[in-house]
Chains A and B, each alone.
Chain A
């Protein structure tokens, strides 16, 4: 159950970030100036499906995090939650075809090894 919730946490967090990035780009540049422009951004954000989906996935992420904390140690949940960097990088490379720098691959490797060590101990 614990690792299932970690998977839910990681996937919902990555999904929320992707939808947030897409939604913000869609609503951030309406016409107008000053307060009218701010209100236009706010109205567009409320009607934007990507931002709505991002908020929903963010809520699922928080729920899974809280559920995990009810029966797992904080000292295991936090390192394990860093797996979202691994999933995010793999998703960017495999799904979006983005280039990944050697520095980022090194970070992903260290995170994976670190989570493995922390969890087996």
Chain B
């Protein structure tokens, strides 16, 4: 069975030198875990930004008929922005699965819940959306809430991993 869990044990001492302590947050090092989590959040937010741009290029589908939805669906599969967005989200899906298998959930879940705030920030700074102070406060509450719900599922998830 693979070693899994929080380990702060140091690697074997190097010959003739002091033992080098490397922080671990699962079965991989903290630096690698941080890099993977940053890439995952970037893929998720980038994918959503591409989908948002692609759908706004197609036009609003709020008040149209089902037949028009079919037409939009056909157009959507040829839109480069939508295809890139879907590819990014698929990449996020597989990368997050990889991360969950290797990084402690107590680290992965709160960090990945930051995607809510990162998406709002991307909407504001990349897409030029207006985000009020109240909206930022709401986003912060949602981010913390998602982290708490994720952490509350920790024992069940760890049982299955």
Task: Let me know if B152 and A118 touch, CB within 8 A.
Answer: no
> How many residues of A sit at the interface, in one of the four size bands?
35 or more
One of B14-22, B27-35, B134-142 at the interface: B134-142
Which A residues are CB-close (under 8 A) to B146?
A: 82, 85, 107, 111
B139 touches A74 (CB 8 A): no
> What is the number of residues of chain B that contact chain A, defined by CB distance less than 8 Å?
48
B145–A82 contact, CB under 8 A?
yes
The stretch that binds A, out of B1-9, B46-54, B99-107, is B46-54
In the assembled complex, which residues on chain B have CB atoms less than 8 Å from the CB atom of A74?
48-49, 52, 119-120, 122-123, 127, 129
- A interface, CB within 8 angstroms of B: 1-2, 63, 65-67, 69-71, 73-76, 78-79, 82, 85, 89, 101, 103-104, 106-121
Which residue numbers of B lie inside 8 Å of A, CB to CB? 48-49, 51-52, 55-56, 58-63, 69, 73, 76, 82, 115-116, 119-120, 122-124, 127, 129-135, 137-153
